[in-house]
Chain A
Amino acid sequence: MQEIQSLMGGFAVAMSWFNLALMLAGVTLGVLIGVLPGLGGANGVAILLPLTFSMSQQPGGATSAIILLSCIYWGALFGGAITSILFNIPGEPWSVATTFDGYPLAQQGRAGAALTAAFTSSFVGALVAVILITFISPIIARFALQFGPPEFFSVYLLTFSAFVGMSKGTPFKTITAMMTGFALAAVGIDTVTGQLRLTFGFADLLKGFDFLIAVIGLFGIGEILLTIEEGLEFKGAQAKLNMRVVLDTWKELPKYWKTSIRSSAVGCMMGIVPGGATPASFMSYGLAKKMSRDGEKFGTGIVEGVVAPETAAHAAGTSALLPMLTLGVPGSPTAAVLLGGLLIWGLQPGPLLFVEKPDFVWGLIASMYLGNIVGLIVVLTCVPLFAAILRVPFSIIAPVILVICAIGAYTVHNSMFDVWLMLVFGIAGYVFKKLDYPMAPLVLALVLGDRAEDSFRQTMLGPEGSLGLFFSNPLVGTITGASLLLLFWPLISSAIAVARGRNGNRRGG
């Protein structure tokens, strides 16, 4: 096994005290960045990129530099879950799906269990992705090349289909929320025509509605408004605070092995394609709800509902580095910044990077193993600490959360307008909750609407564009077929039930 040998060489590169110290620093910093909503991994890495420039001039320095930056990324992947679970405020886009079950768990006093499940499954997802990268990266790279516009559209369709019908609201409310999301996603520049849409001449609307602002407002501010109404305290403040909770949760986790495997697969596929960690987490949550035996209980606070999105998000986040290294196409915003870093350090991502810079590539891969282990240890030891935040009186923590949300909203685009927008979304979130409209479809439409639209229209451009293109080869045909099946599954399954019922009756009669 040549890969194992190369990997061992990689460990030799990554295992210096200096690099290990960088990993620890990177992961800790990343967790902090992940906790702060708005200040995403991409921003964090971009801010630190110039610092690594002089580092990369030393021999072997480029490896150290990317170890530092990629560990910030791992840290942010871990950290995004913390505020999702504790306060229903997703620290990162990919942890929105984690709030669905993580926050109810925290309200039941099981914040520790939810955090442990989130961190552990993040680690599992990352591990699966790294193993894939280690052993079959050439095959994966070829797979990614199969994806053109129709394939991308079919993947987005699959995400929507996996998610449709999972919210508790009436179909009318779900559709209203989703259409609102699509409308918001359409604001700003249109990639296909290069025209501005729905900006009504306002300069502030040029950049469109950022998904992060909407999420911080809808979830974070909305939740605080609700809590204020319902009495100024956190539910779940009586959480147990010791390391036992970690071990207890670990005992429970092996039960969900099917969900873990499915979510890792979804995550790896979405990372490689590259579709991104956020759609991966939504798709994985939707599939888990449909396929799990406890599907009905999803959304009420069960550990499996935390395992599914976190595993997929971390698997996608990790495997997103592969298309970046082998194709030069970033699989996520953070990977895009890392890619810029590689170029600045004088490395050329692409098919030859594995051949020309084996030290760098294998050092990075080895650091993925080590960085995630370091990350897991750091966050797990802090679980009681994080859970203890819930004991701080609401009247103290709520203003702090508000300020953090406002800073987060501001940092996304350095724009004061976004802070006001966040407050508007907050009020909308409160109204949505009161009227029992689901927010998840809105968020999903906002994050994916734009991309789904682009790839659909890219497919349709030119005289040869037709719907037949979505079935034009086995790959795209399978994905489109699967998504249509999922989309109409409620109808199909009730049709089957009716048919069976008739049979039963006939037999009976």
Chain B
Amino acid sequence: MEKRTFAKGLLAAVVASAFSVFTPAFAWEPTKTVEFIVPAGTGGGADQMARLTQSIIAKHNLMKQSMVVVNKGGGAGAEGFLEVKGAKGDPHKIIITLSNLFTTPLATGVPFNWKDLTPVRMLALDQFVLWVNKDNPAKTAKEYVSAVKAAGPGKTKMGGTGSKQEDQIITVALEKQSGAKFTYIPYKGGGEVATQLVGKHIDSSVNNPIEAVAQWRAGNLRPLCVFDNERMPYKTKIAGDMSWNDIPTCKEAGVDTDYVMLRGIFMAGGVTPDQVQYYVDLLEKVRQTPEWKKFMEDGAFNQTALTGKEYADWVAKAESLHQGLMAEAGFLAKK
């Protein structure tokens, strides 16, 4: 029986590819395999998004050439960014970014800047949520932060992914806002952080929704607030009678801090406008597929998706924001 459904899928794929022949040709199209670079390891958030994009493109025949995902996560992503920087004028390389687009050069002094690359488009923004263990007595973000403050410095552990990257930046911002002091413990991956919180080896985390949702649904973790200006729009019930939409923003909860992470696409410098336009259109088609929409909802992403000048402006603003936050926190590389 599975055989037959598989055959049907195959037939559908053949039919779909037959139709794609009739779509109008673009001014520019890739002439060889496109490399989709992930400046992070396999299995993480950026990697998942890249591999999903690749499989959607393959499944819906959105591109005649094939696409390969290549992980270049060395040096907190510097490896991948330097490769794209060095591939000036090569239209067959695109790269997906995390906040390490800004944090890595600032924290390590590795010579690259987003201006070495060509912005293509924003795919989404990733949210951050303040999580505590279910047994934590604090019911709101305000209560929790007050308790941390009352306990004194060094008594409360905040776990996060990496060092001098987004999780620690949020932690510092939260400290600045409230006067509470955390001991920040860096781990290698978001899933590990969520488990450490369930095991009570840390007291709180600022995991992305997708990293902690399974433990929330199982009743092991409790979300306190989301670090964004607006609540997440998703109203499907996730855990008990709570939906993503029921989590207050940190501002509402009385600890006014916000931070979102860019999930955007860049190309090498020196590419032509129609090459950029090709990828803008390609990724727009990806965004319209049901698979993409489901992924956005599962991960409770902020679906803001800018292109062109608006996108470049957004990135420039985000850069100065990171510059400011990291300077305040003392995370800048020594010159």
Which residues in A have some Cβ–Cβ distance to B below 8 Å? 16-19, 42, 46, 49-50, 53-55, 57-61, 64, 144-149, 188-196, 199, 203, 206-208, 323, 327-330, 333, 336-337, 339-340, 343-344, 346, 348-353, 413-414, 454, 458, 461-464
Contact status A189-B194, CB under 8 Å: no
Question: In the complex, what distance in Å separates the CA atom of A54 from the CA atom of B213?
Answer: 25
Q: Does B199 contact A (CB under 8 A)?
A: yes
* B314 interface residue (CB < 8 Å to A): no
B222 near A: Cβ within 8 Å?
no
Asked whether, in the complex, the Cβ of B52 is within 8 Å of the Cβ of A414, the reply is: no
Q: How far is the CB of A197 from chain B (nearest CB, A)?
A: 10
State whether A462 touches B162 (Cβ < 8 A): no
Q: Among residues 287 to 327 in chain B, which have CB atoms less than 8 Å away from a CB atom of chain A?
A: 291, 294-295, 298
Contact of B74 among A188, A195, A349 (CB under 8 A): A188
Q: How far apart are the CA atoms of A189 and B75 in the complex, in Å?
A: 5
| A328 and B220 alpha carbons, distance in the complex (Å) | 13
B140 within 8 A of A: no
B285 close to A (CB within 8 Å): no
Q: Which residue of B lies closest to A335 (CB)?
A: B43
Distance (Å) between the CB of A149 and the closest chain B CB? 7
When C-beta atoms are compared, the residue in chain A nearest to B57 turns out to be: A50
Determine the chain B residues whose CB is within 8 A of the CB of A188 once the complex forms: 74-75
Q: Can you name the residue of chain A whose Cβ is closest to the Cβ of B182? A: A462
> Could you say which of A147, A194, A353 contacts B108, with CB atoms under 8 Å apart?
A194
Given the known interface contacts A16-B2, A58-B9, A454-B188, the answer about A195 and B108 at a Cβ–Cβ threshold of 8 Å is: yes
Given A207-B73, A340-B42, 20 more contacts at CB 8 Å? Answer: A16-B2, A50-B54, A61-B2, A144-B195, A148-B201, A196-B75, A196-B108, A203-B82, A206-B74, A206-B110, A208-B74, A330-B43, A330-B191, A333-B43, A346-B294, A348-B217, A351-B218, A351-B220, A458-B186, A463-B154
Contact indicator per residue, chain B 103-143, by CB within 8 Å of chain A (1) or not (0): 00001111000000000000000000000000000000000
Given A57-B9, A194-B186, A206-B78: A327 and B163 interface contact (C-beta under 8 Å): no
Q: Name the contact of A329 in the complex, choosing from B48, B73, B154, B192 (C-beta under 8 A).
A: B192
User: A194 and B107: CB pair below 8 A?
Assistant: yes
> A147 — which chain B residues lie within 8 A by C-beta?
199
Report the Cα distance A340→B6, complex, angstroms: 23
Interface members, chain B 170-200 (any A CB < 8 Å): 183-189, 191-192, 194-196, 198-199
Contact of A18 among B2, B110, B185, B186 (CB under 8 A): B2
Task: Tell me if A463 and B153 are in contact (CB < 8 A).
Answer: yes
Contact in complex: A54, B163 (CB < 8 Å):
no
Complex Cα spacing A191 to B164, Å: 9
Whether the pair A53, B43 counts as a contact (CB closer than 8 A) is no
28 CB contacts below 8 A, A to B, read: A19-B2, A46-B42, A46-B51, A53-B52, A53-B291, A54-B9, A64-B2, A145-B199, A148-B199, A189-B74, A194-B108, A194-B165, A203-B110, A206-B75, A207-B79, A323-B195, A327-B198, A333-B43, A337-B42, A340-B42, A340-B51, A346-B294, A348-B217, A350-B215, A351-B214, A351-B218, A454-B188, A458-B185
* B residues less than 8 Å from A458 (CB atoms): 185-187
How far apart are B81's CB and chain A's nearest CB, in angstroms? 10
In the complex, are the beta carbons of B191 and A352 less than 8 A apart? Answer: no
Query: In whole angstroms, how far apart are the Cα atoms of A467 and B36 in the complex?
Result: 45
Task: Say yes or no for B263: interface residue by CB 8 A criterion.
Answer: no
Contact (Cβ within 8 A) B186 A191:
yes
User: Distance (Å) between the CB of B32 and the closest chain A CB?
Assistant: 16
Contact residues in B for A195 (Cβ distance below 8 Å): 107-108, 163, 333
Set of chain B residues within 8 Å of A464, measured between Cβ atoms: 154-155, 183
Smallest Cβ-Cβ distance to B103: which chain A residue: A194
What residues of A have a CB within 8 angstroms of the CB of B59 in the complex?
53-54
Known contacts A191-B188, A340-B43; is-contact A146 B48 (Cβ 8 Å):
no
Instruction: Select one of A46, A413, A462 contacting B69, CB under 8 A.
Output: A46
Q: Are B110 and A336 in contact (CB under 8 A)?
A: no
Residues of chain A within 8 A of B82, CB atoms compared: 203, 206
A328-B191, A344-B52 known; A61 and B108 CB under 8 Å?
no
Q: How far is the CA of A379 from the CA of B133 in the complex (A)?
A: 47
Q: Which residues of the other chain, B, contact A61 by a CB distance below 8 angstroms?
A: 2, 5
A344 and B51 contact, Cβ closer than 8 Å, known pairs A42-B42, A462-B154 = yes
Find chain A residues with CB under 8 A from B194 CB.
Answer: 328-329
Alpha-carbon distance A74/B164, docked complex (angstroms): 38
Complex A-B, nearest 6 residue pairs according to Cβ-Cβ distance, in ascending order:
A207-B74, A350-B214, A206-B75, A148-B201, A336-B43, A194-B163
Tell whether A191 pairs with B163 under 8 Å between CB atoms, given A206-B78, A208-B74: yes
Chain B residues in 8 Å Cβ range of A323: 195
Decide: B186 and A60 in contact? CB cutoff 8 A.
no
Chain A residue numbers with a CB within 8 Å of B247 are none
Contact A343–B191 (Cβ < 8 Å)? no
List A contacts of B260 (CB < 8 A). none
Q: Do A190 and B163 form a contact, CB below 8 Å, given A58-B5, A344-B52, A458-B187?
A: yes
Chain B residues closer than 8 Å to A148, beta-carbon distance = 196, 199, 201
For the complex formed, measure the closest distance between the CB of A472 and the CB atoms of chain B, giving whole angstroms: 12
The residues of B that contact A330 with a CB separation of less than 8 Å are 43, 189, 191
Which residue of chain B lies nearest to A46 when distances are taken between CB atoms in the complex? B42
B228 at the interface (CB under 8 A from A): no
**How many Å from the CB of B84 to the closest CB on chain A?**
13
Tell me the smallest distance from the CB of A363 to a CB of chain B, in Å.
Answer: 12
Closest to A338 in B: B43
Kindly state the separation between the CA atoms of A196 and B185 in the bound complex, as whole angstroms.
Answer: 18
Verify if B13 is at the interface (C-beta below 8 Å from A).
yes
**Known: A53-B58, A327-B195, A350-B214. Contact between A192 and B186, CB under 8 A?**
yes
* Contact call A58/B6, Cβ cutoff below 8 A: yes
Q: Closest approach, in angstroms, between the C-beta of B148 and any C-beta of chain A?
A: 13
Please tell me which one of the listed residues B2, B109, B186, B298 contacts residue A343 in the complex, with CB atoms under 8 A apart.
B298
Tell me how far the C-beta of A51 lies from the nearest C-beta in chain B, rounded to whole angstroms: 8
Contacts of B27 in A (CB 8 A): none
Chain B proximity of A83: nearest CB distance (Å): 23
CB-CB under 8 A for A349 and B76, given A18-B6, A340-B51? no
Nearest-CB residue, chain A, relative to B334:
A195
- Complex interface: chain A residues within 8 A of B155 (CB): 464
CB distance from B40 to the nearest CB of A (A): 11
The answer to whether B215 touches A328 (Cβ under 8 A) is yes
Alpha-carbon separation in the docked complex, A208 to B78 (Å): 12
Contacts A194-B163, A344-B48 given; indicate if A59 touches B75 (C-beta within 8 A): no
Residue of A nearest to B220 (CB): A351
Q: In the complex, which of the residues A18, A53, A58, A348 contacts B55, with contact meaning CB atoms closer than 8 Å?
A: A53
A53 CA to B155 CA, complexed, in Å:
46
Interface membership of B34, Cβ < 8 A: no
Choose among B79, B107, B213 the residue that contacts A348 (Cβ–Cβ < 8 A): B213
For A328, what are the chain B residues with a Cβ–Cβ distance below 8 Å?
A: 191, 194-195, 211, 214-215
Least Cβ–Cβ distance between A255 and chain B, in angstroms: 40
Chain B nearest Cβ from A22, distance in angstroms? 9
A352 to B107, CA, bound (A): 39
Chain A nearest CB, measured from B169 CB (Å): 11
Min CB distance B70 to A, Å, is 6
| Residue among B9, B58, B195 with most chain A CB within 10 A | B195
